[in-house]
């Protein structure tokens, strides 16, 4: 059996930029929500997809905003999409899927905690993380836990992560800390580009293990000297950025494996789709609970 853990926030944003606009009966823009429902129905049509959960950033802010003022927030996010989060969560729940709306933590943390919980279960052959978020690649483990980009049909196993980033999954938080992550709002350490960072971390894995001798970095002496100088001067920042990019696996996930099994859509979905002004979507649902 496979478990599919879906990054609902990413799916909603993807639908917002990809689905046609649509107004609900009350006049609210709901195109992204309808796009998300279609996307989830498409996923559920796959016979291999039996156990599913969807995580959302119920609010964009999390505990990480208290750690670093520049961390991503809802400021500047289009209200059209922000206003659809509660609606999207209700629709996905009515579709019969386990839904995790995160407030203190982020959707990525819920997925990470679920990976940690369910990958140990004997009957689980594979955990599939449905997301393109770089943070989530730290959870990849051999071909037991993989990341799946559904839009481009790309699956990243451990070998794939190493090919893409030049480092193993365990070094991804260190990699992002040094390189920076514009999506999450932290800049990284000056001069540490993807190539030099992967060269160093492929050998030393973690920030603390990076030697202070520039001759040991495997880079040109001048470049290595500059990078080490920048790291030394911003060492606390590097460790903070790594903490920001390290996913939490202690999010309380109360559901059991059996709870994740999709039994069909809830009749409540009929009312939601009527309000969304798109009842025709219901004809494509093959199973009701």
Tell me if 192 is assigned to some domain. yes
Q: Which domain holds residue 143?
A: 2-166+248-284
In the prediction, which pLDDT does 19 show? 82
Same domain, 87 and 22: yes
Strand partners, 148: 130, 155
Residue 87 and residue 43 share a domain: yes
Question: Is 273 found in the same domain as 237?
Answer: no
Same domain, 207 and 270: no
pLDDT score recorded for residue 76: 82
CATH number for the domain including 206?
A: 1.10.150.20
Give the three-class secondary structure for 111. Answer: helix
CATH of the domain at 53: 3.40.50.1010
Q: What is the pLDDT of residue 284?
A: 87
Provide CB contacts within 8 A for 145, sequence distance 6+. Answer: 115, 119, 126, 127, 129, 139
Q: What is the pLDDT of residue 64?
A: 97
Examine residue 121 and state whether it is found in any structural domain, yes or no: yes
Same domain, 158 and 176: no
- pTM, rounded to two decimals: 0.96
Q: How many domains does the chain have?
A: 2
Task: Retrieve residue 8's tokens.
Answer: 């609902």
Selection from 140, 122, 104 nearest residue 5 by Cα: 140
Q: Which residues of 214-240 are buried (b: 16+ CB within 10 A; e: fewer)?
A: beebebeeeebebbbebbeebeebbee
Q: What is the mean pLDDT of each run of 10 residues along the chain (289 residues)?
A: 97 92 92 96 95 95 95 91 95 98 97 97 97 97 97 97 98 98 96 97 98 95 97 98 98 96 96 93 89
């Amino acid at each position: 059996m496979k478990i599919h853990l879906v990054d609902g926030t990413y799916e909603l944003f993807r639908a917002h930029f990809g689905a046609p606009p649509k107004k609900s009966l009350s006049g609210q823009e709901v195109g992204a929500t309808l796009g998300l429902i279609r996307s989830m129905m498409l996923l559920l049509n796959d016979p291999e997809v039996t156990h599913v959960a969807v995580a959302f950033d119920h609010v964009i802010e999390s505990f990480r905003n208290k750690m670093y003022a520049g961390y991503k927030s809802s400021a500047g996010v289009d209200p059209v999409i922000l206003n659809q989060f509660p609606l999207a969560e209700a629709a996905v729940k009515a579709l019969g899927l386990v839904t995790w709306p995160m407030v203190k933590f982020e959707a990525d943390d819920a997925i990470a905690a679920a990976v940690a919980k369910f990958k140990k279960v004997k009957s689980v052959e594979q955990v599939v993380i449905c997301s393109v978020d770089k943070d989530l690649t730290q959870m990849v483990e051999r071909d037991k836990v993989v990341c799946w980009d559904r839009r481009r049909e790309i699956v990243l196993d451990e070998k794939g992560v190493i090919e893409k980033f030049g480092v193993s999954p365990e070094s991804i938080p260190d990699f992002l800390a040094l390189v920076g992550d514009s999506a999450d709002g932290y800049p990284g350490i000056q001069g540490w580009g993807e190539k030099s960072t992967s060269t160093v971390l492929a050998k030393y894995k973690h920030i603390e293990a990076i030697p202070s001798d520039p001759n040991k970095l495997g880079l040109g002496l001048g470049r290595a000297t500059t990078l080490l100088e920048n790291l030394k001067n911003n060492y606390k920042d590097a460790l903070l950025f790594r903490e920001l990019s390290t996913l939490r696996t202690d999010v309380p996930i109360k559901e059991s494996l059996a709870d994740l099994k999709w039994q069909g859509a809830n009749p409540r979905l009929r009312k939601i789709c009527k309000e969304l002004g798109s009842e025709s979507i219901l004809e494509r649902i093959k199973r009701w609970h």
